[in-house]
């Protein structure tokens, strides 16, 4: 009983794969940008925001970090319409990515903010900076610089997790793989190819994030 691996289907289905890759890249780009922004706002709220808002952020972060991404996705896509919030698959997937990464990045950024020496806040205040200015210029940037590696690997993890969005029929790379294997009946080969593409995307994404880190935070000897 010999099984011959067959990759002859690749040229025929290549466009499907490419469009799937496009959607996966879009998801992680939108998710990372908006998710990190959300994370920054939440981190600010937790560290310096109004007292009433802090428990809300804590509840949000803990709830997201302790439930599977897929359940969050199903809740958003299947559950929210009963509240009148109808979304397309892609919108639901994007929202789930943002909400998920927002919670993780909040926790990571907060860790960076917490180790900021107290004196930095006071120094900012003594230069007549407002609380927001102090946060923006004195606290946030060094904090982000400090936690950039952790944030980068979290973004890669979320990108890999995004494979699940195919379950609500958002047409990403894993959806493309499911589609192709249902046509060519070469499930194993199809998943090998898509897995390798994911690996390549992960390696590329790591490079891009390292590059963004270098661009955002040029080496400053005095930083720390």
Partner 1 sequence: MIEFTFWDILRNLLLAARWTVLLSLVSFAGGSIVGLIVMFMRISPNKAVATIAKGYIELFQGTPLLMQLFLAFFGIALLGFTVPAWLATGLALILWTAAFLAEIWRGYVEAIAKGQWEASASLGMGRLQQMRYVILPQAMRIAVPPTVGFSVQVVKGTALTSIIGFVELTKAGTAVTNATFQPFLVYGLVALIYFALCWPLSKSSQILERKLNVAHKNH
Instruction: Enumerate binding residues for partner 1 (CB under 8 A).
Output: 1, 3, 62-63, 65-72, 74-75, 78-83, 156, 160-164, 167, 174, 177, 187-188, 191-192, 194-195, 198-199, 202-203
- Other Cβ atoms closer than 10 A to 61: 21
> From the CB of 75, what's the least distance to partner 1, in Å?
4
> What sign results for the dihedral spanned by CA atoms 51, 52, 53, 56?
positive
Q: How far is CA 45 from CA 30, 78, 83, 173, in A?
A: 22, 30, 27, 36
> CB-wise, 191 or 217, nearer to partner 1?
191
Per-residue b or e along 142-171, where b marks 16 or more CB atoms closer than 10 Å to that residue's CB:
bbbbbbbebbbebbbebbebbbbbbbbebb
> From the CB of 136, what's the least distance to partner 1, in Å?
29
CA-based radius of gyration for the chain: 21
Alpha-carbon dihedral angle through residues 163, 184, 204, 33, given to the nearest 10 degrees: -40
> CB-wise, 1 or 128, nearer to partner 1?
1
> CB-wise, 44 or 69, nearer to partner 1?
69
> From the CB of 50, what's the least distance to partner 1, in Å?
25
> CB-wise, 13 or 135, nearer to partner 1?
13
> From the CB of 99, what's the least distance to partner 1, in Å?
12
> From the CB of 78, what's the least distance to partner 1, in Å?
4
> CB-wise, 135 or 175, nearer to partner 1?
175
Pairwise CA distance, residues 95 & 73, whole Å: 9
């Amino acid at each position: 009983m010999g099984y011959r691996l067959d990759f002859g289907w690749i040229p025929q289905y290549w466009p499907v794969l490419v469009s799937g890759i496009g959607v996966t890249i879009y998801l992680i780009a939108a998710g990372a940008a908006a998710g990190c922004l959300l994370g920054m706002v939440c981190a600010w709220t937790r560290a310096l925001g109004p007292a009433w808002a802090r428990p809300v952020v804590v509840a949000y972060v803990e709830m997201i970090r302790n439930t599977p991404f897929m359940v969050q996705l199903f809740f958003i896509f299947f559950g929210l319409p009963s509240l009148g919030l109808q979304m397309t698959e892609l919108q639901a997937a994007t929202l789930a990515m943002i909400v998920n990464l927002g919670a993780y990045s909040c926790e990571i950024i907060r860790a960076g903010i917490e180790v900021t020496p107290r004196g930095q806040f006071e120094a900012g205040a003594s230069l007549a900076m407002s609380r927001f200015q102090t946060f923006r210029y004195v606290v946030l940037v060094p904090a982000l610089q400090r936690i950039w590696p952790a944030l980068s690997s979290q973004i890669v993890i979320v990108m890999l997790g995004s494979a699940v969005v195919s379950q609500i029929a958002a047409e990403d790379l894993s959806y493309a793989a499911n589609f192709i294997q249902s046509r060519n009946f070469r499930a194993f080969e199809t998943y090998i190819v898509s897995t390798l593409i994911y690996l390549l995307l992960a390696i590329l994404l790591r490079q891009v994030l390292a590059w963004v880190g270098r661009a955002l935070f040029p080496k400053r000897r005095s930083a720390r």
